[in-house]
Amino acid sequence: MTAQLTEHAPTESALAWRADPYADALRAGRGPLFLRRSDGWLLPLDVERWCAEPDEADESVLDRCAGPVLDIGCGPGRLVATLAARGRRALGVDVTPEAVARTTRAGGSALCRSVFDPLPGEGRWGTVLLIDGNIGIGGDPAALLRRAARLAAPPGSLLIEVATADVDERVEVHVDDGRGGRGAPFRWARLGTRALCAAAADAGWSRAVTWEAAGRSFVGLRR
């Protein structure tokens, strides 16, 4: 999420996600909240869905999870908490303290940390998740895919939510609440299925499956 991402310390982006509009929305459990590009284009962020129970599309992801699960950018933790309630080992990682707090209150386990920081169980996670557009973290999908490959176990899987449109973009955005509140700028990416699969192949992943559920699109990869 920094202007030039390294695979070690995207510090500026972590600070951007701790900005008041995002933390306030998570605390309230509702938006409006957007990512705003420099040209004014808005991407709505579905805070209400993130703070609710898993929906049909989420369940399609949960059904494909095998082994211990690492949720990168877990947000308020609906997936981690649900897995924990089902007796599954799961850990969320998020740079926003309020997200981690909500996850733990919901019964899940989470760390307030960047995915590029050292993490528990590196190389031993059966399933790694990048849901809710989190392939965009850092604005460099190739770096994020390489990092995920180091986190997953050797025949582990990576489940990614992609844009429903055929898009491949890296942009500078900021969090915007539509009422004048805004966070610091940071780098973000959006990928559709075709762009994601091309980037994944270059990072050493093979495509296992694609699917759609409740108007959302997903790609499952294998190491």
Q: For residue 3, tell me if it sits in a domain.
A: no
Which pair of tokens denotes residue 26? 């998570």
Q: For residue 30, tell me if it sits in a domain.
A: yes
Q: For residue 99, tell me if it sits in a domain.
A: yes
Give ∠ CA 123-71-213 in degrees, rounded to 5: 120
pLDDT at 205 (0 to 100):
95
Q: For residue 6, tell me if it sits in a domain.
A: no
Containing structural domain, residue 58:
11-222
Alpha carbon separation from 49 to 54, 86, 149, 194 (Å, rounded): 8, 20, 28, 26
Residue 11 CB coordination number (10 Å): 14
pLDDT at 5 (0 to 100):
31
Q: Does position 1 have pLDDT exceeding 50, yes or no? A: no
- 10 or 76: whose pLDDT is higher? 76
Q: Does position 95 have pLDDT exceeding 90, yes or no? A: yes
Alpha carbon separation from 5 to 64, 65, 111, 166 (Å, rounded): 30, 29, 21, 24
Rounded Cα gap, residues 107 and 122, in angstroms: 23
Ranking 11-25, 181-195, 206-220 by mean pLDDT, the lowest is: 11-25
Q: For residue 194, tell me if it sits in a domain.
A: yes
Number of domains in the chain: 1
With pLDDT > 90 as the criterion, what percentage of the chain qualifies? 87
Q: What is the CATH number of the domain that holds 182?
A: 3.40.50.150
Q: Beta strands 42-44 and 206-213: pairing type?
A: unpaired
Q: For residue 1, tell me if it sits in a domain.
A: no
Q: For residue 103, tell me if it sits in a domain.
A: yes
CB 171 within 8 A of CB 37: yes
Q: What is the pTM of this model?
A: 0.91
Q: Does position 169 have pLDDT exceeding 50, yes or no? A: yes
The pLDDT tens digits for 63-77 are 999 999 999 999 999
Q: For residue 4, tell me if it sits in a domain.
A: no
Q: Does position 7 have pLDDT exceeding 70, yes or no? A: no
Q: What is the rounded (10 degree) CA torsion for 16, 20, 25, 27?
A: 110
Rounded Cα gap, residues 1 and 10, in angstroms: 6
